[in-house]
Chains A and B, each alone.
Chain A
Amino acid sequence: MSCVQTIQDYALRSIGIGERLLPRSDFTVCEQVVLIGSGMIWNVYFGFMALATGFFLATAVALGKGSANPWLRKPAELYVFLFRGSPLFIQFFFAYFVFLNLKRVYPFFDPFTAAWLGALIVLFLNTGAYSAQIFHGALQSIPKGEVEAADAYGLSGWSRFRRIIWPTMLRLAWPAYTNEAIFLFHATTLVYFSGFPAWQQRGDALYYASYFADKTFNPFVPYPILAGYFILLTLVIIGGFGLVNRRLNRHLPANARSKMKLRPNLIR
């Protein structure tokens, strides 16, 4: 079977388009590259959707955490503690079984036990907590001169937040937020190892990589392929976030801009 044929059969396998059966013997490198790449669709989907929605939650929680009102502050602190203090792996398991139990009582929760929604909710809450902590730190370090200047110009309330505080917060938080984004994409590999079933063998990149490693007893091909994909994805994220960083810092002289500094990525 030629490689073009393999691409036609398996490039969209992870979302259920193409050949139904996975290759079972005589695995070629092409098959491994294509199938693992096909699984990356899910990693990108989970990471992108969780980041896009978690961003707003994180902003709200960061404001709540910085609030003087204990009715806003305490719940925000508790939420951040709960999701940052426990392993994501356990959170996935717990959420899956909660949804499973809810489903028995209310059929409404049926889609929640599938990874595309259930795992996404966990990732959304998780990245919300981690990003909220980053944004909270940034809010604390906004130069007070900027806020005083905003007051002096007669800005207050929403317009002060929208025009002064929020952009500055993002500017200060952006390098750390980039790390969080990379971190989150790496964390998406946990989804199919934590209860959520890969329905009809539609899994993510790591699911297929471990499938090949199990079948061939040879980890030296699929895992480096997976690593290669993730390095590429990481570079794309750094590029994209770097563009936003440039825009956030565009009013500053070149030497005062906050540099993007990458730290090693850890499990959460």
Chain B
Amino acid sequence: MFSYCTDPDALDRLRWLSCYLTTGVHFSFYLSFLKVIGILAVTAPVALAFGFFGAMSARSSIAPVSWLGKGYIAVVRGVPDIAFFLFFVIALDQGFEWLRHQALCPDWTDPIRQGNDFLVCPQAKLPLGTAPQAVHQTYAFGLAVVTFALVFGAFAANVIFGAMRAVPKAQLETAEAYGMSPRQTFWRILVPQMWVYALPGLSNLWQVLIKATPLLFLLGIEDVVYWARELGGTKTARFTAYPHGDWRMWYFLALLVFYLFMTWGSEKILSRLMTRLTRGQATTGGEAQRRGAAA
């Protein structure tokens, strides 16, 4: 990148390092950090929405809808999540392809499961075999987001379901006494008040979501773990201008620091948000704030 980088062998240590860390592949590595942040930024709202609808349907007075919501929450318990990740990606992929197969090739007679193979007609392949590499990568990324959102949505649903039940009953009864319909009570009284009860659980979930992002590697995404393994491995002078030994330890140290920084930073932000949400609430925290302001 720098002008003095043309002959790496002649450089002193510090300059060598500055050149080494600004090679093209290293920018892919730095980009993968943005990928992690990107997937967090996309997944968190989607999972929250899944969680909200899951909790809403679990609270529903219509029995089948309530079973659906409760079943969704219950299904993620008791099973290691990594198994979920590995399972969902293949299952979703095959599900999509099967649906497209049914729609696009109605007169295909061969069975789809032939022994150990899963075969759909070429038009139903997702993405199409002829699609450019970028489409394949985007598709893999999208599948990962959906998987994360499904799994974390169930956890969020559980938290929000609990938070909705924690809102004091008197509040809802008062709303009813004022003549609000159930819908109005839900949106104007329950939802605004529930966040303060949900936030400790949700912030915990957020921390867990951050710590779950390295699992992207298992879904075949070129994420931080992938690049750390690639770049850290021993490089000989035959293949690169910057030969070095096995540096994977240092790359993973950098990842460790990155994640520590992420969790530390979000802890700070979330505790501020908690202070903000506690304002005016009928909780001990809200009461303490009121007293503090009065004194």
Contact = CB atoms under 8 A, between A and B. Distances in A.
Interface in A42-83: 81-82
Interface residues of B, number: 46
A264 B77 contact: yes
Interface in B69-111: 73, 76-83, 86-87, 90-91, 94
Contacts of A193: 82, 218
Given A97-B252, A215-B116, A231-B79, A86 B87 contact: no
A101 B249 contact: yes
Secondary structure dominating the interface of A:
helix
Contacts of B158: 264
Tell me if B's interface is mostly helix, strand, loop or mixed.
Answer: helix
A129 interface: no
Interface stretch (A159-167, A219-227, A239-247): A219-227
Nearest to B260: A85
A143 interface: no
Of the candidates A94, A206, A220, A230, the one having the most CB atoms from chain B within 10 angstroms of its own CB is: A94
Interface in B252-295: 252-253, 255-256, 259-260, 263-264
Interface string B212-229: 111101100000010011
B263 A86 contact: yes
Given A85-B264, A97-B252, A223 B83 contact: yes
B158 to A, nearest CB: 6
A94 B256 contact: yes
Interface in B107-128: 113, 116-118
B211 interface: yes
A268 interface: yes
B202 to A, nearest CB: 12
Nearest to B80: A186
Contacts of B228: 93
Interface string A173-200: 0000000000000110110010000000
Interface in B34-79: 73, 76-79
B248 interface: yes
A267 B94 CA distance: 25
A213 interface: yes
Q: What 6 A-B pairs come out closest when comparing CB atoms?
A: A186-B80, A97-B249, A87-B211, A94-B252, A223-B87, A85-B263
22 contacts: A27-B116, A87-B214, A88-B211, A89-B214, A89-B215, A90-B225, A93-B225, A93-B255, A186-B82, A189-B80, A206-B80, A209-B83, A215-B116, A218-B118, A223-B87, A226-B80, A264-B73, A264-B158, A265-B80, A266-B212, A267-B82, A267-B212
Given A97-B232, A218-B113, A218-B116, 16 more contacts: A85-B260, A87-B211, A89-B217, A90-B259, A100-B246, A101-B246, A216-B116, A219-B94, A223-B83, A227-B79, A230-B83, A264-B77, A265-B77, A266-B81, A266-B208, A267-B212
Interface of B: 73, 76-83, 86-87, 90-91, 94, 113, 116-118, 154-155, 158, 205, 208, 210-215, 217-218, 225, 228-229, 232, 246, 248-249, 252-253, 255-256, 259-260, 263-264
Interface of A: 25, 27, 81-82, 84-91, 93-94, 97-98, 100-101, 186-187, 189-190, 193, 206, 209-210, 213, 215-220, 223, 226-227, 230-231, 234, 262, 264-268
